Amino acid sequence: MQQQHALLRQAPRAYHSVELPRQQTSESPMNMKLLALAASCVAGGAVLAFTVASQVPATQNFASVQTRPAVTVGSTHGPAARLGSQGVLRTPLNVQAQTRVAAYPAETFMHTEQQSAAPQGNFAAWLMAPALAVLGVWLWTRQQAQKIVPLANPAWNMATVSAREEETASEASDDMEADVSMVAGMGGTYTKVDSSIRRIVPEAAGRKVVKVVYVVLEAQYQSSLTAAAKKLNAENAEVCFELCGYLVEELRDPVNYEQFKQDCAEANIFLGSLIFIEDLAQKVVEAVEPVRDQLDVALVFPSMPEVMRLNKLGGFTMANLGQSKSAIGDFMKKKKEEQGASFQDAMLKIVRTLPKILKYLPNDKAQDARNFMLSFQYWLGGSSDNLQNFLVMLTDRYVVDEPLNTEIADPVEYPDLGIWHPLAPNMFTDATAYSKWNNSRPELAKDGPTIGLVLQRSHLVSKDDAHYVSVVQEFESRGCKVIPVFAGGLDFSVCINEYFFSAGQCLVDGVVSLTGFALVGGPARQDHPKAVETLAKLNRPYMVALPLVFQTTEEWKESSLGLHPVQVALQIAIPELDGAIEPVVMSGRDSNTGKAHALQDRTETIVGRMMKWTKLRTTPKKDKKLAVAIFSFPPDKGNVGSAAYLDVFGSLFELAKEMKREGYTIDGLPETSREMLEMVVNDSEAKYASPELNVAYRMPLPEYEELTPYQDRLHESWGPPPGNLNTDGKNMLVYGKQFGNLFVGVQPTFGYEGDPMRLLFSKSASPHHGYAAFYTYLEHIWGADAVLHFGTHGSTEFMPGKQMGMADTCYPDSLMGTLPNLYYYAANNPSEATIAKRRSYAATISYLTPPAENAGLYKGLGELRELISSYQQLKDTARATSIVDAIADKARICNLDKDVPNLPDGNSADLSAEEKDTVVGKIYAKLMEIESRLLPCGLHVIGKPPSAEEAIATLVNIASLDREDDGIKGLPTIIAESLGRNIQDIYAGNDAGVLADVELNQEVTEAVRGAVRSLVADRTDKEGRISKPNPALDFFRKAPWLKLLNEAGYKVNEDDVKPLFEYLEFCLQQVCADKEMESMLAALEGDYILPGPGGDPIRNPDVLPTGKNLHALDPQAIPTMAAVSSAKVVVDRLIEAQKQENDGKYPETIAVVLWGTDNIKTYGESLAQVMWMVGVRPLPDALGRVNKVQLIPLEELGRPRIDVVVNCSGVFRDLFVNQMNLLDQAIKLAAEVDEPLDMNYVRKHALDQAEELGVSVRQAATRVFSNASGSYSSNVNLAVENQSWEDEKQLQDMYVSRKSFAFNSDNPGMMEANKEVFESSLQTADATFQNLDSAEISLTDVSHYFDSDPTNLVQSLRKDGKKPSSYIADTTTANAQVRTLSETVRLDARTKLLNPKWYEGMLNSGYEGVREIDKRLTNTLGWSATSGSVDNWVYEDVNTTFIDDKEMQQRLMDLNPSSFRKMVSTLLEVNSRGYWETSEENINRLKELYQEVENKIEGVEA
């Protein structure tokens, strides 16, 4: 914290400051020198201010001086001349040594309200297509000169050059510096900058005026071209330049675009670069192509193929680019595939070499080609000098009639690889030379950490490096050394390997990439394996900081969305695949000049956080302090230590023991995890919000206010501190327990869970004071070196703030401060893990869900299975009829009559043999569905991976899926083919109740289980450990799984079986691997954690082994074609089911919920489902990216277009904004097409709404909704979980209030409240629909599903009051199903809540297990509240299982009396709300039992 000490002088120039250590006086020798410097600065017209640092670490004395002109003291070289006229100093000062003052650019610290985002440019990526084009001209010239046989296709002729086929050209473009696919197709704009601000109109004064129009992605060309034009206009006597510049994103604005077209029509020279957004590329073509012939020059550097074809330079053209094949193109494509990113480095050499060769060829076409390559070199150089010569060369040779009397210098070349420092006299290509220079600086700290910085060369050569300077000086001011390296090509791993190692030893303690891109391959086509290999070898924390690119600083600050979605895709999602962490915005750009500038508070955040990571590397284990945050949700007794499928205290206990073995100071650790739990909560019945929970610290209010600078922002929601949460009225209370250098703290909850009025607010409240105090304590009082959030999931990442790209005003950023945030996260939940990574800077480490088992059959269901077995044996005897009647009666007793309707009621004698088979077949199919359903048993413990035996059920399901991309057939497919059947036909017969197919399906299932079991047995030793295969032994014997299949009568194709079982063997090893503990201990040492995908390990075994730094996927990739194919199957089944339910009528509207995790796991299946409902298909652009949609003709669709109301989860909104854009476009496309209304329900309803609401059809067709930015969920789940709701109407009001924010592709920068259209659209919904994404998580496992269910809401809105049908798609098995909601709830209840295998597995986990049972019951109540889809028998059976059984009662009460009390109160609530009809005897028993449990708890507490 600094206070201004004295302002020497004010002037209308730059503001300059000197920051002095507090302990120094102005008369100290060091500061006398600074005063002398100040005097000289003021004399030179500079403004200088002194400030005093009130809090400076004892070991870090520093001064900060901004000066104008730049001043360097104690240095003979002149960085100021290179850096420009402005300079800034902020460098360490050694009081004992001679003070040395260094100069940095002042714009680093200067930010005005007009400033905004930093450009990007790694231009070697551009090289492919232009180099090949010119290479073709050169080869043609050689052919003409030497009469040799041409190497290229004849299309490479004098007038046109076809570099290669379009695919290859596209791939070349795909490797370019920036890829902006996710904006493609957007109708609106995220930036509102008026392009006229960069227009330069010269005074002609008798000179030739040359009009230049340019459109680029990178803003740095704005400043360089502007400087070049201004200098030429000031100095050149023959010509002057009118400059009209556009950033490509600005062409979305209609006014800008009209001006652009007019400028192009008047231009002499058109320049374009990096135009990869397809709809914007089309705009450019539409504007330029009509006037191309009248242009003197049209130069387009790598962009989409259609834009590249605009190139025209004399006789050089690319008009046929990508439209014909060539031998050279094929050769280059092959080389590119072989060499990857390094191929572009080779192309860079071609760019430099070809002009030297072409110079000596007399042909005009060759000279035009040479000029093109020279132009490319000038452009790559990027400096104003290079661009000045570039403009003069083009004008001299193609615009004016007579040659200019102006000398044209050759392009200035820069090193492709090197080390840069703002104070150095030059760039270094030798690490030793840099080290020598850097170590000679007396002001530099000698013993601090060394930070590696990765830079883009383009910013250096264009002198657009203020943001880089800021980062360098901030690190150095805090006592660090820096090694800022750069590369000219796409492969930044090269400069890491070259400069961050010496003699095999790593020289850096951490790495921050300031490029914003992937490490290898830039933003488009990456080489992640190479990047991971490099970073694993480096084994240091790896951060990728974000320069704003597609919006100004002000737009970012004012946007609730935060980062532009394209930047999220390119500069967050893709680097995460490399293992990058902590995507913090670092810089903006000036909207007037295009120059990058530092955002100082963000720079300080980056530096502060990286220094904390490096401290993990340097602090001895015995001194290192780890804070663990555990969760308690809902905030009631019995919930401390809650996390998805994780035994929190069992895992925490194992971690503490391992840390102690590793040398960490862990004191007072008890003998068992149960004792540890009791030490944290005093006893397991402690009420969360009461002092009985162990109070670790009482924070006085003055201390809280002093150490929590953002606490005043919390007053709006919570009033002044202390408030009434986590406080005793005088102090803020921090709950937890210290075990030496391990602190286990209980994270406070949101605070408004029990307040119905707050739950109705459309936007979420800020964290309360107690919440803020918790994190203040961890960082500033207890002094944690890192915090570990233990399990899925806490609430910090869901606090209000921008969706992505946090500012200092965003609560996740404020709460986390500079603490490294480690986070154990369930591997099957990559979407919410991604939110934690991006919003709370978490380094996630995945953990496995518990080993899965088949649900099996129990009680009456098992007896029913035996009856069916009897029927199978006796179906052809006289006993068949009585057995069928017995089966039907038993099915009714087991409540299967709703799942299998129209069961015979003692009259099966009237049925034919085939009809009897069908009755039995349908019941049998339902039983097998229940029996085979996967369910996680118990809770996972970190450090205890499943045994090989426990992995069998998971492997069976892995073996059952076809994996076309890997060329692996599933075992059911292989077995079916051996019988001459198609497995899908068998599944269809099974679903229809064809007894023969039901039996065959079960036989196939058993064969798969047996084969997998034989593999596990063969690969497991006597101790149960996985053993390596013995190839010699395998060679001389038949594989046991093949032997088993053959003996079962399946003569399978061994060539199909071999790759499958090799794959299964690999998966077995991965499932049983233990990396979770190892990775966490490595993270605590500041090591790099290998990245890995999250998702369902059955669909994607690459999720295994766990213990990886979770990432999601490249959002540009979905929906995949496979997802589109799967989506069609599901939607067709859904529509058919609804038609059967609705007298053969098509549903007119379906209300759909989209989930982030679902779309990650299935690669966009549910996204594609919505598109298929509407009747549109996603189309990839020329670079293979999904960024536009196309209407499917009605003739091809074969049915009406179904209207949709799409409600996206808050997580989907954050991760897939561009997919929301695609959906909005698709729906509006359907609404605006002129088609019969009985074949287009989208248009039918939009027309009605437009008339009713008085809006346009396009506005009325708004159908894509979610929460307000920074808010999540409808809060219905919070109300249900906390029993804080009065009636269903209140829940529906919550839903409408929080979920009615519309996405609009015409104005995509914000979520707009649009309750009227939302409710109007839901009025026509005939059905609601959701997807299940994995076997581990179903409808009652989490509250999110009922929280997003609009079934009862739709009924209340429909004018006819009709309840919509509700459907759930289950694609977790090879045989995808569409079930009704009530059918799915019944299936859930049978396989989990009421299944002894499931609840006994949970009870084996003790305290946490009872909580899991309670949670399933509460979520079942949630479904009653939102849909009324829970059958009465479900609650009756719950009562029978857990209440009537006295022994079970006692077990629950002993293990977790608070959760048991909640179960009893939930059953009473279910009855009181009318969802469960039962006997008075049951209700009275429940009331008595509630009082008994209450008395027990009160007695314990007393």
**Mind listing the pLDDT tens digit for each residue in 766-796?**
899 999 999 999 999 999 999 999 998 888 9
- Residues 934 and 932: their CA atoms lie apart, in Å, by 6
Predicted confidence (pLDDT) at residue 24 exceeds the cutoff of 60:
no
Say if residues 61 and 93 touch (Cβ distance below 8 Å): yes
Confidence at residue 464, expressed as pLDDT on a 0 to 100 scale: 87
Confidence at residue 850, expressed as pLDDT on a 0 to 100 scale: 87
- 151 pLDDT band (50/70/90 cuts)? very low
Half-sphere exposure of 148 (CA within 13 A, CB side): 11
Across all residues in the chain, what is the average pLDDT? 82
- 54 pLDDT band (50/70/90 cuts)? very low
Average pLDDT over residues 232-258: 91
Confidence at residue 280, expressed as pLDDT on a 0 to 100 scale: 85
Average pLDDT over residues 260-285: 91
Confidence at residue 334, expressed as pLDDT on a 0 to 100 scale: 52
Which of 91-105, 629-643, 1013-1027, 1210-1224 is the most confident on average?
Answer: 1210-1224
Which of 71-80, 110-119, 1139-1148 is the most confident on average?
Answer: 1139-1148
Phi, psi of 783 (to 5 degrees): 80, 45
Predicted confidence (pLDDT) at residue 379 exceeds the cutoff of 70:
yes
pLDDT in tens, 1466-1479: 999 999 999 999 99
- Residues 556 and 547: their CA atoms lie apart, in Å, by 11
Residues 6+ apart with CB under 8 A from 1171: 1119, 1124, 1127, 1177, 1178, 1189, 1222, 1223, 1226
- Residues 1286 and 1283: their CA atoms lie apart, in Å, by 9
Say if residues 552 and 599 touch (Cβ distance below 8 Å): no
Predicted confidence (pLDDT) at residue 683 exceeds the cutoff of 50:
no
- Residues 1473 and 1471: their CA atoms lie apart, in Å, by 5
Average pLDDT over residues 1378-1401: 95
pLDDT in tens, 1235-1259: 999 999 999 999 999 999 999 999 9
- Lowest mean pLDDT of 19-33, 59-73, 232-246, name the range: 59-73
Average pLDDT over residues 587-615: 90
Sign of CA dihedral 679, 683, 689, 695: negative
Task: Detail the DSSP E strand segments found in 1438-1487.
Answer: none
Predicted confidence (pLDDT) at residue 348 exceeds the cutoff of 90:
no
- 14 pLDDT band (50/70/90 cuts)? very low
- Indicate the pTM of the whole model: 0.82
Q: b/e per residue, 1137-1158, with b = 16+ CB within 10 A?
A: bbeeeeeeebbbbbbbbbbbbb
The helix-helix angle for 971-978 and 1054-1071 (nearest 10°) equals 160
Residue position matching structure tokens 């007037």: 592
Confidence at residue 315, expressed as pLDDT on a 0 to 100 scale: 87
- Lowest mean pLDDT of 303-317, 551-565, 1135-1149, 1439-1453, name the range: 551-565
- Residues 1328 and 1351: their CA atoms lie apart, in Å, by 6
> Tokens standing for 917?
């088979």
- 1374 pLDDT band (50/70/90 cuts)? confident
- Residues 1314 and 611: their CA atoms lie apart, in Å, by 45
pLDDT in tens, 1127-1179: 999 999 999 999 999 999 999 999 999 998 888 888 899 999 999 999 999 98
Average pLDDT over residues 1251-1276: 92
Confidence at residue 75, expressed as pLDDT on a 0 to 100 scale: 28
Which run of H or E residues covers position 1313? strand 1312-1313
Average pLDDT over residues 734-754: 90
- Residues 323 and 168: their CA atoms lie apart, in Å, by 11
Hey, what amino acid is at 486? F
- Residues 1366 and 1383: their CA atoms lie apart, in Å, by 10
- Lowest mean pLDDT of 290-304, 711-725, 885-899, 1297-1311, name the range: 1297-1311
Confidence at residue 1182, expressed as pLDDT on a 0 to 100 scale: 63
- Residues 1130 and 1149: their CA atoms lie apart, in Å, by 16
Say if residues 957 and 1098 touch (Cβ distance below 8 Å): yes
- Residues 28 and 1053: their CA atoms lie apart, in Å, by 88
Residues 6+ apart with CB under 8 A from 686: 637, 640, 692, 693, 694, 1501
- Lowest mean pLDDT of 217-221, 266-270, 279-283, name the range: 217-221
User: What is the Cα gyration radius of the chain?
Assistant: 34
Residue position matching structure tokens 């297509």: 129
Predicted confidence (pLDDT) at residue 107 exceeds the cutoff of 60:
no
Which run of H or E residues covers position 1479? none
Percent of the chain topping pLDDT 90? 56
> Tokens standing for 484?
């800022």
Pairwise pLDDT comparison (297 vs 62), residue with the higher score: 297
Phi, psi of 699 (to 5 degrees): -100, 115
Confidence at residue 192, expressed as pLDDT on a 0 to 100 scale: 64
Average pLDDT over residues 952-964: 90
Which of 456-470, 551-565, 1266-1280, 1425-1439 is the most confident on average?
Answer: 1425-1439
Predicted confidence (pLDDT) at residue 304 exceeds the cutoff of 90:
no
Pairwise pLDDT comparison (1029 vs 1134), residue with the higher score: 1134
Confidence at residue 523, expressed as pLDDT on a 0 to 100 scale: 56
**In this structure, how many other beta carbons lie within 10 angstroms of the beta carbon of residue 364?**
12
Predicted confidence (pLDDT) at residue 982 exceeds the cutoff of 90:
yes
Confidence at residue 361, expressed as pLDDT on a 0 to 100 scale: 54
Quote helix, strand, coil % in the chain, to nearest 5: 50, 15, 35
- Residues 254 and 247: their CA atoms lie apart, in Å, by 14
For 1023, counting Cβ atoms within 10 Å of its Cβ (0-12 exposed, 13-18 middle, 19+ buried), the class is: exposed
- Residues 310 and 312: their CA atoms lie apart, in Å, by 6
Say if residues 393 and 374 touch (Cβ distance below 8 Å): yes
- 517 pLDDT band (50/70/90 cuts)? confident
- Lowest mean pLDDT of 272-286, 680-694, 1045-1059, name the range: 680-694
Say if residues 365 and 203 touch (Cβ distance below 8 Å): no
